[in-house]
Structure 1
Amino acid sequence: MADDQEVVRAGLCRILDGEEDLEVVAEAGDGEEAVRRAGATRPDVVLMDIRMPVMDGLAAARRLLAEDSSVKVVILTTFDLDEYVYEAIKIGASGFVLKDAPADEIVRAVRAAAAGDALVSPSVTRRLLAEFAKVRTRDNPSVATLTERELDVLRQLAMGLSNSEIGVRLFISEGTVRTHVTHLLSKLDARDRVQAVVLAYETGLVSPGHTEDR
């Protein structure tokens, strides 16, 4: 748990430690300390504030992910349209949550990251990606390798839906959705569904403001 505001950090630690399946193994007040403590404790997930002294959360996330590809980084931010958050997702962070989000959303984000099923918040992440996709559109030939069903699933991911919600919308089982997600991540060479969603916006597969109910 890395955050330079001690009161915020303590509050989040209490929330996470209060869950039977979660344990805070280390705390840090800046990015440099976060990298050092993570290296010593080898956590499954690092909950990282984006704006910290000494080394900011973006630089710390880049260091952590370069040193240990198995660690999952969830970014904490006060702002829902923060360019640094976009860059953090680009380098491999497993989504992000607002500091003032409900406690259960923060807990779900940590659990999702640990399970490799990164949280993409419908109310926040879609606006963020759409904003920056406006000026970052690019081609990616790997999109052409996706099947029609995989494209359908990717569009639903970009809307912030969970596997179970996608299954309901596409009239397929949750297990089938997981299989499609695994295949499309492999084809797109994406670390997780968050990076796949970034690519969906960047390539124009999903347009800014996209709210299609498929």
Structure 2
Amino acid sequence: MSKIRVVIADDQNLICDGIRIILDSQPDMEVVGIADNGQKAVEFVSACQPDVALLDISMPVMSGIEALKEIKVNYPKTVVLMLTTFDPDEYIIGAFRSGADGYLLKDMTAEKLVVAIRNAFNGNVTMPASIASRIIVHIHEDVKKNSLQDYGLTQREIEIAGLMARGFSNELISITLGISLGTVKNYISVIYSKLEANSRQEAILVIKGLNYSESI
């Protein structure tokens, strides 16, 4: 059975060593590179072509967010998970906007870490509730609600519209907001109707045109 190949990047050696020991003890995982800054992380990803890269958000030489951007452009098949603890919201949102596939808390248990990496490798979302709540707060502040309210969207529909515009799948919206997938689909159908959109792409274009600045 092929193993999940992982690169770890963090400027704290104890963090890297701890994660390496945990992952190397798993029969289906293999750590193929350890970096102490973002530039080295990109180099390891280039050389090793790992399945998953774990990046600390704040690192010297090149930040985790800058490394994330490079990896997503040049190695889009690599799943990138951001390692975080008490990073400022601007860093969390910066990684979110740059295409992070998920987030891992540095104080999570070994069992949860392993499960989260397996889930991410299999295409599922890795989003701790504490991180999801911070992203939702940002969306509330960021969206110009009045424009969508002119279309009759409710507060919950505005939240979902904001996530749709950022590329969230229905599953990720479900996990982020803590509602069922069926409920998400129902909300999106209502959003289509209120925006007079015939497709997700058309709805997103309307949402972005109404609610997002060019800098986003």
CA gap of 1:131–1:42, structure 2 versus 1, over 3 A, is same
Cα offsets for 1:168-214 (capped at 9, x unmatched) = xx6xxxxxx9xx7xxx9xx757xxxxxxxxx9xxx8xxxxxxxxxxx
Q: CA deviation at 1:6?
A: 0.8
The aligned counterpart of 2:174 is 156
8 Å contact from structure 1 (residues 50, 57) kept in 2: yes
> Is 1:137 the equivalent of 2:155?
no
The worse-fitting range, judged by mean Cα deviation, of 71-80 and 61-70 is: 71-80
Identify the structure with bigger relative contact order (alpha carbons < 8 Å, sequence gap 6+).
1
Task: Pick the structure with greater CA Rg.
Answer: 2
Which residue among 61, 65, 69 is the counterpart of 2:76? 69
8 Å contact from structure 2 (residues 82, 102) kept in 1: yes
Distance 1:9 1:21 in 2: 19
Which residue among 51, 67, 74 is the counterpart of 1:60? 67
Match for 2:175: what amino acid? L
The aligned counterpart of 2:194 is none
Q: CA deviation at 1:131?
A: 2.2
* TM-score (normalizing by structure 2): 0.66
8 Å contact from structure 1 (residues 3, 9) kept in 2: yes
The aligned counterpart of 1:2 is 9
Distance 1:118 1:153 in 2: 8
Match for 1:156: what amino acid? S
Cα offsets for 1:77-121 (capped at 9, x unmatched) = 121653212221222111101111111222122112111112122
8 Å contact from structure 2 (residues 105, 128) kept in 1: no
The aligned counterpart of 1:32 is 39
Sequence identity percentage: 33
The aligned counterpart of 2:20 is 13
State the SS of the aligned residue for 2:31. coil
Match for 1:130: what amino acid? I
Paired positions, count: 167
CA gap of 1:55–1:136, structure 2 versus 1, over 3 A, is same
Q: CA deviation at 1:157?
A: 2.4
Distance 1:96 1:25 in 2: 20
State the SS of the aligned residue for 2:35. coil
Which residue among 48, 58, 72 is the counterpart of 1:41? 48
CA gap of 1:24–1:154, structure 2 versus 1, over 3 A, is closer
Distance 2:85 2:137 in 1: 17
Distance 1:73 1:18 in 2: 21
> Is 1:101 the equivalent of 2:108?
yes
State the SS of the aligned residue for 2:116. helix
Cα RMSD for the two superposed structures: 3.4
CA gap of 1:114–1:160, structure 2 versus 1, over 3 A, is farther
Q: CA deviation at 1:156?
A: 2.7
> Is 1:87 the equivalent of 2:94?
yes
Distance 2:170 2:71 in 1: 33
Q: Which has the higher strand share?
A: 2
CA gap of 1:155–1:42, structure 2 versus 1, over 3 A, is closer
